[in-house]
Chains A and B, each alone.
Chain A
Amino acid sequence: MTSQAVKIQGVQHYFGSGNLRKQVLFDNQLQIEPGEIVIMTGPSGSGKTTLLTLIGTLRSVQEGSLEVLGQQLLGATDDDRIALRRRIGFIFQAHNLFESLTAFQNVKMALDLFDFSPEEVSSRIRELLTRLGLGNRIDFKPASLSGGQKQRVAVARGLVHRPKLILADEPTAALDEKSGREVVTMFQEFAEQEGAAILLVTHDNRILDVADRIVRMVDGRIKSNVLVQESRIICEFLKDVPVFSKLTPRTLTDMADKMFLEAFPPGATVIRQGDAGDKFYLIREGRVKVEVERDGNVRQVAELSKGSFFGEAALINHEPRNASVVAVSDLQVYTLGPEDFQRSLDASATLEEEVRKVLFERQ
């Protein structure tokens, strides 16, 4: 048993077989705590839905460990999966309501799987539908509901059994701003009151603010995984670093979102001279020494501390590392991948200028 609602370790996924076998998920790691709202974004075709359906037991796990609400899904039986589905709430892009059933009955289908008393069933459904603004539509069939109302009935159906994990793919795509806001507020309340973990796949920028954490998926890999709160801390920090201080808040936030936090003990080598450059580093806490080895002699060329960055030269010049960097004290660094670094430079002429100036001075 783990305390996490979702614990993903080394999950890989392939579609097709033989020559057509194609890997769509690469060594994914992700943990979602109870009560946490995680928003997953990323370009279309990057594997978000595949990961979501794996977590939701709708696909079989092929490789890696995937624990959902304490149940290991690698090698789980059909019965295990069906039992687990009853503890998950699904909200799909389409409402998929039975035309023949009223709003009340459609929601009730989710409770029929359990043994609640009729009074409990009725009060839960009425209360939930009322909270979703459908109090006067309870006994209507889908044909007499608007698109947004139908979607809200579907949301109620996904929440009524008080699941400990809610999986939603673009739940607000079919809703206007107000209904969308009601639905995500509902999610927040659910996360808070029921301790439910919520994973939302969305491109809807209007609701990003409800997220505790934003995960970005690119080409089957989780590219960044940032606590929103953490990303604000990074933002604050970046603003105080002279090179970044002239950036717009927008560029700052984008950069902060994409950064990972890494820690090294004293004496650890962060960068080794001659290796390929794959990251840009910004020191959050601690000190490093920069050493260059030439003809067998190692010479320390600099010592950097909080607010300094390193690793930019290899990325800009597309060369191997021209020096080694070793932690002198306990070290915390923010890191940025090469594409995201390049994108940040492209987005801001100021930043590019600042970084090149520092790079020039160092050479």
Chain B
Amino acid sequence: MKTPLAISNLLHHRMRTFAAAAGVTLSVVLIFMQLGFLGSVESTASLLFDALEFDLIMRSSNYLHLSAAGSFPQERMYQVASASTVQATQSLTLGLFPWHHPEQPRKRRIFSIGVDPLDSPFRLPEMQSKVSALVQPSSVLIDRKSRPEFGPQNGQRFGDADLGTRVEVAGKSVTIVGHFELGGGFASDGLMLLSVSHLEELAEGGLANQRSLGLIRLKPGADIVESAARLNRDLPHDVEVLTRDEAVQRERLRWTQGTSLGIIFQMGVAISFVVGIAIVYQVLSSDVAQQLREYATLKAMGYSTAALSRVVLSQAIMLAVLGFVPGLALAAALYQLTARVALIPIQMNTLRVIFVFVLAVSICSLSGWAAARKLGSADPVDLF
């Protein structure tokens, strides 16, 4: 076995190793957090779509994103329903209304989804069963993931204690008759479900006979892409029909690229990367500088500069592993904390773990490579 110079250097210069590994840990945690936020932006963007049952979705051509969905005439739904490959249709109306809980000092805006209580569009069993309760006049279902500022009894989460509570929405009194769990994510802090007619009432006629999303289920065996293309061709241009994948994809892009969120988090990742390089390079290059005469001696003995660079590089890779493991553990803990406190879905996933590990290795390899360039100045002639 060859002499493990890289490991020995790390073990011998403990403070230095600790500083470099801590630098890696720091940037790994920062990168995980940025990617976690970015990931939760993406996953909350598609939460609603994930909860709905449809093959194709129709929306206004003015659609921006879920909280600025625009609307189209209800008539379009009838046109769609008559198409040959369509089995069934449902529609949703979306709106944002001021919410005033009697025990909360401030008003908030709540994202509201109007549905047909007798024909639930939801996939999730819980929502499906509870929607029928909305036949009662002036009733609403509240999302348990709505922020505490919307006024849950226990100050944290809506639950059974809130049943029967009366709240003022758009100046009218409504009653909470149930709760469900979906999460509005970055688009809205609070979410409620109500019947379409109730929503039209709250909108004071502003949305009469208007719909925001049309859910289309196709007959078994129908080609999804082809059907979407045909509907788009046949329907007037105030609407567009998308497949589920397209809808989800565009919603994500809308959030990650159409807003500054994506770029902010990406910048965050880039900066953390650079900070990592700066710290690790600093440590590794002073390690090389301090042992320059020893490295020069090895050169005189017949070691090539490349062989010595490999020592520095393997030292760097070991630092990557040393710094990554605690970074991963710390980030996982912070994810849980953030999910609990900020009520956003932020989760570790394998792909991200691999990606960040690759970044950590890149941070260290680049720093190692830069530090190893100093070996060029280790000239054995200076030893005499």
Contact = CB atoms under 8 A, between A and B. Distances in A.
Interface of A: 49, 52-53, 56, 58-59, 82-86, 90, 92-94, 96-101, 105, 108-110, 112-113, 118, 141, 157, 169
B236 interface: no
Contacts of B299: 85
B364 to A, nearest CB: 19
B384 interface: yes
23 contacts: A53-B381, A56-B300, A58-B300, A82-B302, A83-B302, A84-B302, A85-B299, A85-B300, A85-B301, A86-B301, A93-B383, A94-B383, A96-B383, A99-B291, A100-B5, A109-B3, A112-B2, A112-B3, A113-B302, A113-B303, A118-B1, A141-B12, A157-B301
Contact of B3 (A52, A53, A101, A141): A101
A66 to B, nearest CB: 15
A92 B299 CA distance: 13
B3 A105 contact: yes
Contacts of A82: 302, 304
B12 A99 contact: yes
Contacts of B300: 56, 58, 85, 90
A58 B380 contact: yes
B11 interface: yes
Nearest to B300: A90
Interface in B350-384: 379-381, 383-384
Contacts of A85: 299-302
Given A98-B8, A100-B12, A92 B297 contact: yes
Given A52-B384, A169-B384, A105 B302 contact: no
Contact of B5 (A58, A96, A109, A110): A109
B13 interface: yes
B297 A96 contact: yes
A93 B296 contact: no
A49 B5 contact: no
Nearest to B4: A105
Given A90-B301, A101-B5, A112-B3, A58 B381 contact: yes
Q: Dominant SS at the B interface?
A: helix
Contacts of A141: 12
Contacts of B379: 58
Instruction: Pick the most buried of B1, B3, B9, B303: most chain A CB atoms within 10 A of its CB.
Output: B3
Given A94-B383, A100-B11, A101-B8, A110 B301 contact: yes
Contact of B383 (A84, A92, A105): A92
A112 B8 CA distance: 15
B176 to A, nearest CB: 68
A236 B291 CA distance: 52
B294 interface: yes
Given A112-B2, A113-B301, A98 B383 contact: no
A53 B12 contact: no
Nearest to B299: A85
Contacts of B383: 90, 92-94, 96
Instruction: Pick the most buried of A49, A83, A108, A112: most chain B CB atoms within 10 A of its CB.
Output: A112
Interface in B122-157: none
B384 A53 contact: yes
Given A100-B5, A101-B3, A109 B302 contact: no
Nearest to B381: A58
